[in-house]
Chain A
Amino acid sequence: MEHAIRISCTRRNLKVVRDFVSEFLLRYHLTDLLINQIVLAVDEVVANLIIHGNGEDESQFLDVRVGVVNQEFGIEIEDTNLTSYSPTSYHEPDLQEYVRIGKKGGVGMMLVNRIMDRVEFTTVGAHNVCRLYKKLR
């Protein structure tokens, strides 16, 4: 993946990553709807890694790499952290229950899983990599 960006772990960089991904996708002449969906899925994972994975520690970095192979968009988001996200702990939330109890968070991964075709998390030592894939055609 030749298109890459490195950001420090602050919420201010969420917009930086969204712009990076949407500018990359512009060359593929996709609908606004599809671009927004992919950008949203990436934003959700990056927000989780910045806020929960790295505690908004600006001395920590995320490496983001994007590419398209065989009409499939792929993105890798890598960080170095001992706190890794475990997809086995994920259960799709009951939104009516969230409304009833006034819960503010917890629907980000629901969006990611519903939008993307494949969602993978791997950890080797302190290196965590999240990979997201979406067919473009």
Chain B
Amino acid sequence: MKITQQSTENSLTLSLDGELDASSSVVLDTELSKPEILRNQKVLINCRQLNYISSAGLGVFISHLQRFQDAGVKLVFFNMQEKVHNVFEILGLDSLMTIVPSEAEATAI
């Protein structure tokens, strides 16, 4: 799992490249756990190169969502592949998390 970061004044975009499983999800957890991430108004997750997600990867997002919400930080996913979106749908996480098709829509939220 490779994570590339891009910051603007109010937002941070994390581009995920690879597979998020029980072996690799710790890398993402480390990034999302950093206290300074809560200084952003939005954290955007670019999923274009995210080819696979298991419950371990989902668990990282589930475990940080309330912390982000309490700090007023919006967590937005975009460019999600159909097979990855399907995993969110199976659990109903697509209704608990903000997932939009494009970067333009993610930026506009």
Contacts and interface: CB of A to CB of B under 8 A. Distances in A.
Contacts of B58: 107
B23 A108 contact: no
Interface in B52-109: 52, 54-56, 58-60, 62-67, 82-83, 86-87, 90-93, 96
A107 B62 contact: yes
Interface string A95-113: 1101111111111101100
Given A44-B54, A51-B22, A105-B56, A36 B62 contact: no
B17 interface: no
A12 interface: yes
A68 interface: no
B50 to A, nearest CB: 12
A43 interface: yes
Contacts of B87: 36, 40, 111
A32 B86 CA distance: 11
Contacts of A101: 66
Interface residues of B, number: 27
A3 interface: no
A136 interface: no
B2 to A, nearest CB: 15
Contact of A95 (B19, B22, B67, B92): B92
Interface of B: 19, 21-23, 29, 52, 54-56, 58-60, 62-67, 82-83, 86-87, 90-93, 96
Given A43-B21, A105-B56, 20 more contacts: A11-B23, A14-B22, A37-B86, A43-B22, A47-B21, A47-B22, A51-B22, A95-B92, A95-B93, A102-B62, A102-B64, A103-B63, A104-B63, A105-B55, A107-B58, A107-B62, A108-B55, A110-B91, A114-B90, A114-B91
11 contacts: A32-B82, A40-B54, A43-B21, A43-B22, A47-B55, A47-B56, A98-B62, A105-B56, A108-B54, A111-B87, A111-B91
Interface of A: 11-12, 14-15, 18, 32-33, 36-37, 39-40, 43-44, 47, 50-51, 95-96, 98-108, 110-111, 114-115
